[in-house]
Amino acid sequence: MTAATIIRGFAPRYQMIMSSRRFLVTSSMCRQERESPKIDTLPPEERGRYKVATIPNAICVARIAATPLIGYLVVQHHFTPAFALFTVAGATDLLDGWIARNVPGQKSLLGSVLDPVADKLLISTMFITMTHAGLIPLPLTSIVILRDVCLIAGGFYKRYQVMSPPYSLNRFFNPQVSSMQIVPTMISKINTVLQLSLVALSLASPVFEFATAANDAIFALGCATAVTTVYSGLQYASGKAVKKL
């Protein structure tokens, strides 16, 4: 059998393979276009959903950037500046939420994920460093950190579940592909308030030298925080806080 005969026999098969590949690529691109609507074609009130550069997102990034500094100040027992920065960080958390809810075009899918990530990073850092400084007991910190680690891992797994193929890192982190939104439950919101309050009061204790009665109240607040942390973690694990759009 000559080389020319082999080539002639292989050519139709090669053309068929290439046609199949072109069909798969074209189908994938069409499906991605259907999943990723162009922002310009959406109504004005919906355009902000897919934005990345928004004021609330910038505030979240700033809060994330400030978190290591606050943790360092706690470890070094510089409680007064740490308390001041933590108070500012808590205020920015309220501020970015207010802007996202009340300013048109500032509410985004990225923000719905970035905001709780920034909160959890700050809270986890504060619990770890304050445990190191002797302000929060280790068992409570272990509960909080374990729950947050499970939430992060579960969030990535849930994102993989709701995505439609093909799978890639670019599509995985693209908010327009198989869009999903994190919707905190009421217990989760209460738990966040309790955690922030516990951190703020525990951090303020050495600054203002609280009396014994105040420290007993902080202990009770820690118990309530532990209960709501476990309960809200179970709610997230059931998928009640994740909504596919």
Q: Which single residue is written with the structure tokens 């009130």?
A: 45
Q: Is the pLDDT of residue 25 over 70?
A: no
User: With pLDDT > 90 as the criterion, what percentage of the chain qualifies?
Assistant: 32
d(CA 118, CA 59): 10
pLDDT value at position 69?
A: 96
Domain ranges for the chain: 48-175
> In Å, how far are 2, 69, 74, 168, 214 from 83, measured between CA atoms?
83, 12, 9, 42, 17
- Distance in Å from the first CA to the final CA of the chain: 59
User: What average pLDDT does this structure show over 95-121?
Assistant: 81
pLDDT value at position 7?
A: 44
Q: Is the pLDDT of residue 67 over 60?
A: yes
| Choice among 107-111, 172-176, 185-189, 193-197 with the minimum mean pLDDT | 172-176
Q: Is the pLDDT of residue 133 over 80?
A: yes
pLDDT value at position 150?
A: 80
| Choice among 52-56, 89-93, 163-167 with the minimum mean pLDDT | 163-167
Amino acid letter for position 191: N
Q: Which single residue is written with the structure tokens 């309530």?
A: 224
- Do the strands 180-182 and 242-244 form a parallel or antiparallel pair, or are they unpaired? antiparallel
